[in-house]
Chains A and B, each alone.
Chain A
Amino acid sequence: MNSASPGIERIFSWSSIDSKSRVVILVSILLICSIPHSSGQETITGWNEAESWTDYDLNAAVIHGEIIWVFGDSGIVRLSEDSGATWQNHTNLGDANLISADSYENSMAVISSEGIIYMKDDFESEWITIDSSQTGMKSVALTGATSLVIVGNEGAIWQYTDQTWWNRTTSFTENLHDVDFNGDEDGLVVGDSGTILATDDGGTTWDYRESPDPDCSIVSISYFNPYRMFAVSDSGQILYSTSPGGFEWQLREIESAGYNTTLATNLSSIDVVSSSRILFTGPDGYLGLSLDQGLNVEINILPTGVNTSFNDHAMFDYVSGIVVGDSGVILFTDRAGENEDIGFQIPDYNNFGEFVEYADDMLLSGFIATVKIVLFGILLGFTIGVILAMLKTAPTSFKNILERYSTNQIRALGAVCLIIGLWLLYTGVNRFPELQLEGLEYIFTPVGDPQGFAMFALGLGIVAISIQFILADKKLSGPIFKVRPLNSLATVYTDFFRNTPLIVQFMFIHFGLRLGMRIQQLMEGTFGDPGIDGIDYFFYGDRTFLSAIFTLGLNSGAYQCETIRGAISAIPSGQMEAGRSIGLTYLGTMRLVIMPQAIRICIPPIGNEMVNLVLNSSLAMVIGYSELSRQGKLMIATTFQIFSAWGLVMISYFVVTWTLALLLRRLEEKTKIPGLGISGGA
């Protein structure tokens, strides 16, 4: 045995590992790295590309009866009668760029950049041309069979009704980008500087609405129903309103973007397809789909080679529709553009390989989750254990505390305490009748009225102690003066945690005390939103994680305390005397002399406790923490492979505990003191 100092760098440093072990470690790492990992899930696009027979940019799409119309630059018009799969030419409408279109019942209208409106008031009717004499118009919305509203630059709003144009421009002169109507009366207009204007009389009068972000340029708006509207800004924000008339608007905190309020991409249009499904388009091939009203937005995979800017879309229903974009691109879908999972369509879980392929991702996440709570649980448990053990062995008795005071002072203290104690006792007891308990049911008062019970218990204790203070003699010989209060506190703690089942502690702490939630809120108050990944999320993003480490730590601490206390008692009392006799304080001697020796002694039993903690961590599944056992259960729920699933879980646990045991064995060897203790061999 060499006699170098057992510092931490000696225990885990690479240089301290002998060459044989180094080879084993390197080979293990190599093996783990070289295991081929299946890529798992694959997805393909839900969009198909259609031939549009044009290279002009397509700006607007609208559904008119059974036909989808698409309008583009230089008056180009295409139509499809089969949900967007094949497209036919149609006579150009003028030669200006067609920029926006809308349909309403049997009517359809499209506006050109010259301000000319082409309208059909029935499926079979011819195109009617209406000249608004306005340029710089951006969007059109029908409010009736032959009435419409157009909006454009510098706040221009024009209403066409009864064959006449009316200027409805308001005092807000920001550029307007989009107009949408729900029915023929309720309408919304959006534009630069967060402008939102609303009407409830078909576009005659417009009212200003407070914008959640006065700096954003709102480019598109879409009604789902009178109570739910969505809009997007060109900087990727999603705005929504759930008040009729669109009085209040909020920015969506997008979960999939880390609770940010922007998708961090430019957007050009939005379409609310169903009660929860929203489609977003943007430049550079951005097609986003949300299945939960914009909380999570998934980027659609596009067909190979498509990377154009998308301008508009039109959906028949919530599954089939088209998007159009620059350079004549038209994509159609019959599954709402949703990415399609492939690879597991017909998995055969009876095939072990396919089962493992399905299970390994879940197992890995469970493994990481388990290791996470185990590491923190061990740290917390050991800390609590050491503190409790020190409290339990602390020699501080009431006599030690009080002997420097005169008997009269102690009696006076007793008298004061007696009054306080009696008041607490009286107040506490007086609260109990409110619980309406009978007889033995009173043992449940700690649950029914924790505060009242605390007052009662504290009062009872203080009264009992203070009476003996009052009766104190000069030598403080009463039994109370031998009581060591720190020891008593620690004993209450360990007795509680060692005499209740861990599974109940888990549920009580998580669901009852809601400890995880409280800590999370506290942390959020201090450090801000945890987000969905990163260090913040790691520490307090998951409240079951917080509850789990605290339950495991508190419970394990109670057991480790007894182990460490045993080790402390195994240190000869002369060591304490020697430490004290050179002038160290009690705590100083504990820290510098007793604990370093005691911890070494109790490494094997503490190792036991730690392994126990790993195994006990499986109970965290009852509070919904996704550790290994819970993942095992989930695997069975999908695959019904009970033997294989639990087998995999068992092997994973073995890996954790066995690694831990090996580390502890190594720690024990490395911290061994020459000439101390009997440890096998001569």
Chain B
Amino acid sequence: MVDVVLSIRDLHKIYSGGVHAVKGVSFDVHEGESVAVIGSSGSGKSTVLRCINRLIEPTEGVIELRGEQINTPLADVNQVRSRIGMVFQSFELFSHLKVLDNITLGLRHVRGMSKSKAEEVALDVLERVDMLERIEAYPGNLSGGQKQRVAIARALAMKPEVILFDEPTSALDPELIGSVLKTIRGLADEGMTMLIVTHEINFARDVADRIVYLDHGQVAEEGPSSIINEPKTERLQKFLSSMHEDKISEDIENELVNTQADHGYVPDGTGNRPRS
């Protein structure tokens, strides 16, 4: 039995306006597993994600990181957050800092590393996301895909136990998505534990080990990535068919095929891919 890294039990969130965004969501994320959370807009995907690293305080429910509850006033929120990486939809790079300093900021001020040690770690993670040649650039001078890869590197540098991706490609132009997805896929191959909120159905199918489908704040269907090809519930079927009608997603499909080709394997149509 693989360790449970993240466990969410009966999560509720009622916003101050009275919107009941999350209604009793429960699921687990295991060590080395990548879980994709899919669902239409307003289904509570991002709320669940933000509750996990306590950017939003859940109204009710229990969130456990490696068996210890983290959503109590007694938990050290800063320590919890440094164990959970987060990648945002709109990158949120520190625009006044250069790429390298963006990565070292947390290492130096949270982990207490020396400047040279932090830079060593930073260069290492920047190499993993293939951004070594732009370390002296300001975020304002990067393309969207590059920004997102730096953001992933920033989360990686902290050596998190799990990384949360909040729609990492939604703010990107279609032609820029590929490089980011390739990076995330690379992480999955390395066995990084990941929770990915995404609209990219094909990507979710290809990368995720498990899919959680949220609808109106509830888990409507949960299972291995094959449920995308063979949805059991009507609601997921409907959702998938609406997504497939989207023309852009086909472009992404093509893009994905290309990046997958880069990555050394060709999809066989089952959505399964060799694990390393």
- Residues of chain B contacted by A675 (CB below 8 angstroms): 95, 138-141
B92 within 8 A of partner (CB): yes
> Is A3 within 8 A of B105, CB to CB?
no
Q: How far is the CA of A574 from the CA of B109 in the complex (A)?
A: 19
B82 within 8 A of partner (CB): yes
> Is A582 within 8 A of B53, CB to CB?
no
Which A539-580 residues sit within 8 Å CB-CB of chain B?
572, 574-575, 577-580
- Residues of chain A contacted by B140 (CB below 8 angstroms): 673-676
Binds A, one of B71-79, B118-126, B258-266: B71-79
Q: In the complex, what residue of chain B is closest to A574 when comparing beta carbons?
A: B92
- Residues of chain B contacted by A574 (CB below 8 angstroms): 88, 90, 92
> Is B95 within 8 A of A673, CB to CB?
yes
> Is B96 within 8 A of A583, CB to CB?
no
A411 within 8 A of partner (CB): no
Q: How far is the CA of A297 from the CA of B105 in the complex (A)?
A: 63
A306 within 8 A of partner (CB): no
> Is B92 within 8 A of A575, CB to CB?
yes
B128 within 8 A of partner (CB): no
Q: How far is the CA of A577 from the CA of B73 in the complex (A)?
A: 18
> Is A584 within 8 A of B110, CB to CB?
yes
Q: In the complex, what residue of chain B is closest to A586 when comparing beta carbons?
A: B78
A596 within 8 A of partner (CB): yes
Partner of B78, one of A584, A597, A676: A584
Q: How far is the CA of A536 from the CA of B245 in the complex (A)?
A: 79
- Residues of chain B contacted by A578 (CB below 8 angstroms): 86, 88, 92-94, 151
> Is A577 within 8 A of B88, CB to CB?
yes
In this complex, the interface size class of chain B, counting residues with CB under 8 Å from chain A, is 20 to 34
- Residues of chain A contacted by B141 (CB below 8 angstroms): 3, 674-675
Q: In the complex, what residue of chain B is closest to A597 when comparing beta carbons?
A: B96
> Is A582 within 8 A of B154, CB to CB?
yes
> Is B96 within 8 A of A676, CB to CB?
yes
Q: How far is the CA of A575 from the CA of B91 in the complex (A)?
A: 9
B127 within 8 A of partner (CB): no
> Is B94 within 8 A of A593, CB to CB?
yes
Shortest C-beta distance, A516 to chain B (Å), equals 39
- Residues of chain B contacted by A593 (CB below 8 angstroms): 94, 105
Q: How far is the CA of A404 from the CA of B92 in the complex (A)?
A: 31
> Is A583 within 8 A of B138, CB to CB?
no
Partner of A582, one of B74, B90, B98, B110: B110
- Residues of chain A contacted by B74 (CB below 8 angstroms): 404
> Is B138 within 8 A of A673, CB to CB?
yes
B106 within 8 A of partner (CB): yes
> Is A588 within 8 A of B96, CB to CB?
no
> Is A592 within 8 A of B82, CB to CB?
no
> Is B137 within 8 A of A582, CB to CB?
no
Which A1-41 residues sit within 8 Å CB-CB of chain B?
3, 5
Which A455-509 residues sit within 8 Å CB-CB of chain B?
none
A585 within 8 A of partner (CB): yes
> Is B158 within 8 A of A582, CB to CB?
yes
Shortest C-beta distance, B94 to chain A (Å), equals 5
Q: How far is the CA of A580 from the CA of B50 in the complex (A)?
A: 12
> Is B106 within 8 A of A584, CB to CB?
yes
Shortest C-beta distance, A7 to chain B (Å), equals 12
The listed residue with most B CB atoms (<10 A of its CB), out of A574, A578, A596, A597, is A578
Q: How far is the CA of A583 from the CA of B83 in the complex (A)?
A: 8
- Residues of chain B contacted by A583 (CB below 8 angstroms): 78-79, 81-83, 106, 110, 158
B187 within 8 A of partner (CB): no
- Residues of chain A contacted by B92 (CB below 8 angstroms): 572, 574-575, 577-578
> Is B110 within 8 A of A673, CB to CB?
no
B250 within 8 A of partner (CB): no
- Residues of chain A contacted by B110 (CB below 8 angstroms): 582-584, 588
Q: How far is the CA of A404 from the CA of B93 in the complex (A)?
A: 32
Q: In the complex, what residue of chain A is closest to B106 when comparing beta carbons?
A: A582
Q: In the complex, what residue of chain A is closest to B151 when comparing beta carbons?
A: A578
> Is A3 within 8 A of B138, CB to CB?
yes
> Is B95 within 8 A of A582, CB to CB?
no
B155 within 8 A of partner (CB): yes
> Is A577 within 8 A of B105, CB to CB?
no
A600 within 8 A of partner (CB): yes
Q: In the complex, what residue of chain B is closest to A673 when comparing beta carbons?
A: B96
Q: How far is the CA of A674 from the CA of B96 in the complex (A)?
A: 8
> Is B55 within 8 A of A597, CB to CB?
no
Q: How far is the CA of A582 from the CA of B164 in the complex (A)?
A: 12
Q: How far is the CA of A308 from the CA of B55 in the complex (A)?
A: 87
Binary per-residue interface labels of chain A (187-220) against chain B in the complex, 1 for a CB within 8 Å, 0 otherwise: 0000000000000000000000000000000000
Q: How far is the CA of A600 from the CA of B97 in the complex (A)?
A: 13
Shortest C-beta distance, A243 to chain B (Å), equals 69
- Residues of chain B contacted by A588 (CB below 8 angstroms): 109-110
Q: In the complex, what residue of chain A is closest to B81 when comparing beta carbons?
A: A583
Would A596 and B106 be within 8 Å (CB), given that A3-B137, A574-B88, A582-B82 are in contact? no
Shortest C-beta distance, B73 to chain A (Å), equals 4
B136 within 8 A of partner (CB): yes
Shortest C-beta distance, B207 to chain A (Å), equals 22
Shortest C-beta distance, B151 to chain A (Å), equals 8
Would A584 and B98 be within 8 Å (CB), given that A574-B88, A574-B90, A674-B140 are in contact? no
A581 within 8 A of partner (CB): yes
Q: In the complex, what residue of chain A is closest to B138 when comparing beta carbons?
A: A674
- Residues of chain B contacted by A5 (CB below 8 angstroms): 98
Would A581 and B137 be within 8 Å (CB), given that A3-B98, A575-B94, A676-B96 are in contact? no
Q: How far is the CA of A113 from the CA of B155 in the complex (A)?
A: 100
A354 within 8 A of partner (CB): no
- Residues of chain A contacted by B55 (CB below 8 angstroms): 577, 580-581
A292 within 8 A of partner (CB): no
- Residues of chain A contacted by B53 (CB below 8 angstroms): 581
Shortest C-beta distance, B197 to chain A (Å), equals 14
Q: How far is the CA of A512 from the CA of B96 in the complex (A)?
A: 45
A81 within 8 A of partner (CB): no
- Residues of chain A contacted by B139 (CB below 8 angstroms): 675
Q: In the complex, what residue of chain A is closest to B82 when comparing beta carbons?
A: A583
- Residues of chain B contacted by A600 (CB below 8 angstroms): 96
A669 within 8 A of partner (CB): no
Shortest C-beta distance, B145 to chain A (Å), equals 15
- 6 smallest beta-carbon distances between A and B, as pairs: A675-B140, A583-B82, A582-B106, A578-B92, A581-B86, A404-B73
Known pairs A582-B155, A583-B81; list 20 more (Cβ under 8 Å). Answer: A575-B95, A578-B92, A578-B93, A580-B55, A581-B84, A582-B81, A582-B82, A582-B86, A582-B106, A582-B154, A583-B82, A583-B106, A584-B106, A584-B109, A593-B105, A597-B96, A673-B95, A673-B96, A674-B138, A675-B139
